[in-house]
Amino acid sequence: MLVESVSDSQRDYLRRCRRRDRMVVAVRWGALLFFLGLWELSARLNWIDPFLLSSPSRMALSMASLARTGELFSHIAVTLGETLAGFLLGSLLGLGLAALLWWSPTLSRILDPYLVILNALPKIALGPVLIVWMGSGPQAIIVMSLLVSVVVTLTTVLGGFNEVSREKITLLRSFGATKRQCFCMVVLPGSLPTIVSALKLGIGMSWVGVIVGEFLVSRAGLGYLIVYGGQVFRLDLVMGATAILCILAALMYFFVAYFEKRLRDKRGERP
């Protein structure tokens, strides 16, 4: 009877969790559709100036016009490629540097004030320097994206490494484990949730770096479309390119969130 009762309780709990998840998704999409509908209605009834604030239908027509010529897809490919390159390089470099600083506490103490300064420094201030050093091609934009994301990834992951229980590491060392074994068996697995959180932050920072770079030097990409649309007063082009940026950033974020969900399921955790 006890086993039967526990099983029923588990089924009820899982049912409530699924119901809650469906409710969250429904409210999320409902809020978005309500906002878009209110925006479109306000523009059609002239509650707002459609020239200044555009509307979903005007944005869709503008993007469809670019898509018919294939120009839109080339701009998306440029921006997406630069963002993925900056995100991957920034994440790998940030993870590697975090592991190095965990390995050497003395080096971590030496570099700590410099990391604080780099994190606080507005990276856009380095834009003219990067253009001089690397030219006005995509390499300067990728480096800008890397600089924006790497420090955030480094500091977040290093904090996760340092929060891993020292007692577990001491126990392994008492059994003769090397520092590398402690890192691979305790520190890295124990920091996986922090690493995933750092990747989520890195996605947003990578997009910021790429768009800033495209504002400065690019002749292609969604950032270029936004600048061009503002210069010729085509606000539907500006808003449409911004909406596509939001969609692409959300897709990258949900990919990492899906990875986090699989990790939680594997660990038997619930959010």
pLDDT truncated to tens, each residue of the chain (271 aa)? 444 445 667 777 777 878 888 888 889 889 989 998 898 888 888 888 777 777 888 888 888 888 888 888 888 898 888 889 888 998 899 899 988 988 888 888 888 888 888 777 777 777 777 777 776 777 888 888 888 888 888 888 888 888 877 777 777 777 777 778 777 887 788 778 888 888 888 888 888 888 888 887 777 788 888 888 888 888 888 888 888 888 888 888 888 888 777 777 676 555 5
* The model scores a pTM over 0.85: no
3-state secondary structure the chain: CHHHHHHHHHHHHHHHHHHHHHHHHHHHHHHHHHHHHHHHHHHHCCCCCHHHHCCHHHHHHHHHHHHHHCHHHHHHHHHHHHHHHHHHHHHHHHHHHHHHHHHCHHHHHHHHHHHHHHHHCCHHHHHHHHHHHHCCCHHHHHHHHHHHHHHHHHHHHHHHHHHCCHHHHHHHHHCCCCHHHHHHHHHHHHCHHHHHHHHHHHHHHHHHHHHHHHHHCCCCCHHHHHHHHHHCCCHHHHHHHHHHHHHHHHHHHHHHHHHHHHHHHHHCCCC
